[in-house]
Amino acid sequence: MNRYPRWKYIVILAAVLLGIVYSLPNLFGEVPAVQVSPATSVAQVDQALMTRVQQTLTKAQISFDGVIYEPNGIKVRLHDTDTQLKAKDALQADLGDSYTVALNLLSATPEWLQSVGALPMYLGLDLRGGVHFLMQVDMKAALNKQLDRQTNDIRNKLRDEKIPLAGVNRDGSNLIVKFKDADTREKGSEILRQAMRESTITSLDDTRLQLTPTPVALKAIQDQTIQQNMLTLRNRVNELGVAEPVIQQQGADRVVVQLPGVQDTAKAKDILGRTASLEIHMVDDEHMDGPTVSAAMQGLVPPGDDFYPTSRDGSPVLVKKLSLLTGEDIAGASAGYDQSSQPAVHVNFDTRGARIFAQLTRENVGKRMAILLIEKGKGEVVTAPVIREPITGGQVQITGRMTVKDANDVALLLRAGALAAPMEIIEERTIGPSLGAENISKGIHSVLWGFVAITIFMAIYYRRMGLYSAVALGVNLLMLVAVLSFIQATLTLPGIAAIALTVGMAIDANVLINERIREELRAGHTAHAALSAGYDRAFATITDSNVTNFIAGMALIAYGSGPVRGFAVVLCLGILTSMFSAVLVSRAMVNLTYGRQRKLTKISI
């Protein structure tokens, strides 16, 4: 009656062994390390780099425990955090700008475990310390930029086809194109229909056309904006020298940035939060005379222009609204010095940008061009030089009254790519490292002492059956940890609370079984029959109660966020493992010990 076929024992044993193997990595702790990764697309990660890293460290008399080659970077294991900092400095000094050297914590799991995919649990920020940002992309601004560009394209196209245009205005997310009369409007409509495929064109009245972006086009703009911004963020994060950053899209217009282990949160926020982008506009030379400028100072700005009362070199500038080139067209930027040894920023455009820039400078020799740095919607004219000759090489130098630090900062911002649309931090969580370690210890203690208390109680109240229940609970815990480690789910402090809760809830199944067995014994059934009936009858109830808990857990996974989701994931996993261990493992032990005894009269319960 109370016998399990051999294969069931083997399955259970295998599960327990796997549980042990995959939970082991969590005992090993972490070692400080540095990670060398390429900062530009030209820099290579190869054997030569590895040798160079080793040589640099040896020369600086920094002892290291090992060097690991990985496709995305070289990792060096070190003894302690002091050596870690020294190593970082030494390597950064030697490798220069082409590589970033980041501080990192590597798990000390031995090779043989790692080869089967056994890793320690992935700790969330509230256990590791670090920074978490949720950034919202200003989609309206992105759309406006796109509409500006379209306006220019429309003008150019119609001018090329020699169709006179009365004006182009923006109305919400539509563009209204005004013609002189119905005829030109017809002709214009034809041309635009061919050229502007990403808009639907409708006639407003005899002389006006309305262009509305198609839903497909809108989505494309959104996606492109997010992609561009994420790329920019990634570059900026790399500049910060953070290992294992997390940059993910969340929803249609948000980006999550997580920087584990970051100590200097001020700098992180500063670099990430800045949304500087470069724009090149033409200066409105026609209106740059005394009276118009003073009127502008008072607030009367000529239509089609923006007014900047001061620029970095001091004088007020009237700038045409249309942006001709933006940060997207920049290939690179670096700080350097100009001919008079003043700090300057050298900017390179990409092919498209270079082409446009060449055309721009060719058409406007003698006129002034304004180079604007836009931060959070406010623009600043960095410099407004006169275009002396066409610049076909795609390189421009930004000079002005800036310090070396200014030049470096501006270059960094430009180099990391400008944002296609401004972003704003709408949620931020910073956990100091000491709090992280403290949270882990608190969590572990809660689980541990709860488990001990339950074990003691079960052993006293249900005696041997209680002990079996406690062992099953232990196996449950083991398997839960193993599964969490294996799937690398993020463990947060609420997640550890969920582990504790699982311990408390899982014992329910065993209590049900044990109570049922006692009842059967009291009703006069034989020991074997009682054991059997106890397990059978209890199973349906156990299933029902676990399913209801599971439903609660799933709802939390769907609608929770951050730490709460971590809680829910652990809860659900715990329910699954408890279904396995509470019934099968404890029954296996019962069957092993009592199963053989034919004439069983007494059960220790």
Of 368-387, binders to other proteins (CB under 8 A) are none
Stretch that binds other proteins, among 108-116, 232-240, 296-304, 567-575 (CB under 8 A): 567-575
Residue 153 or 544 having the CB closest to other proteins = 544
Instruction: Choose which of 54, 332, 508, 525 interacts with other proteins (CB under 8 A).
Output: 508
Buried b / exposed e over 455-476, threshold 16 CB at 10 Å, is beebbeebeebbbbbbbbbbbb
Nearest to 356 by CA among 314, 322, 310, 380: 322
The CA distance from 407 to 436, in Å, is 37
In this structure, what token pair is assigned to residue 306? 């923006």
1 belongs to the binding site for other proteins (CB under 8 A)? no
Residues 455-474 that bind other proteins (CB under 8 A): 457-458, 460-461, 463
Q: Which is nearer to other proteins, 205 or 536 (CB)?
A: 536
Number of residues near other proteins (by CB under 8 A): 80
Identity of the residue, 210 or 446, whose beta carbon is nearer to other proteins in the bound complex: 446
Site string for other proteins, 242-271 (x = CB under 8 A): -----------------------xx--xx-
Minimum separation from the CB atom of position 131 to other proteins (A): 9
DSSP state of 417: -
Q: Does 442 bind other proteins (CB under 8 A)?
A: yes
Smallest gap from residue 310 Cβ to other proteins (A): 23
Contact 150, 196 (CB under 8 A): yes
In whole angstroms, the minimum distance from the beta carbon of 138 to other proteins comes to 13
Residues 200-212 as b/e (b if ≥16 CB within 10 A, e otherwise) read ebeeeeebbbbbb
Candidates 32-40, 181-189, 452-460, 589-597; binding stretch for other proteins (CB under 8 A):
452-460
- Strand-pairing partners, residue 277, are 374
Candidate residues 243, 369, 414, 503; the one interacting with other proteins per rule CB under 8 A: 503
Q: For the segment 132-171, give every residue that binds other proteins (CB under 8 A).
A: 134, 136
CA 184 to chain centre: 51
582 scored as a contact of other proteins (CB under 8 A): no
By CB under 8 A, what part of segment 411-440 binds other proteins?
A: 424-432, 434-435, 438-439
First to last CA, the chain: 19
Q: Which residues pair with 38 in a beta bridge?
A: 99
Residue with Cβ nearer other proteins (8 or 86): 8
Residue 156: exposed, middle, or buried by beta-carbon count in 10 A (0-12, 13-18, 19+)? exposed
Residue with tokens 């406007």: 364
- What type of residue sits at position 53? V
Residues in 63-102 at the binding interface with other proteins, rule: CB under 8 A = none
Residue 73 or 443: the one with the smaller Cβ distance to other proteins is 443
Asked whether the beta carbons of 382 and 400 are under 8 A apart, the reply is yes
Give the contact letters, 166-205, x = binds to other proteins (CB under 8 A), - = no.
----------------------------------------
Residue showing tokens 């061919």: 194
Edge-to-edge strands, sheet with 73-78: 64-70, 73-78, 30-38, 99-107
> Which range, of 307-315, 378-386, 411-419, 531-539, touches other proteins by CB under 8 A?
531-539
Q: Taking CB under 8 A as the rule, does residue 505 contact other proteins?
A: yes
Least distance to other proteins, CB of residue 304, Å: 29
CA–CA gap between residue 278 and residue 373 (Å, rounded)? 5
Residue 512 lies near other proteins (rule: CB under 8 A): yes
d(Cα 345, Cα 328) in Å, to the nearest integer? Answer: 17
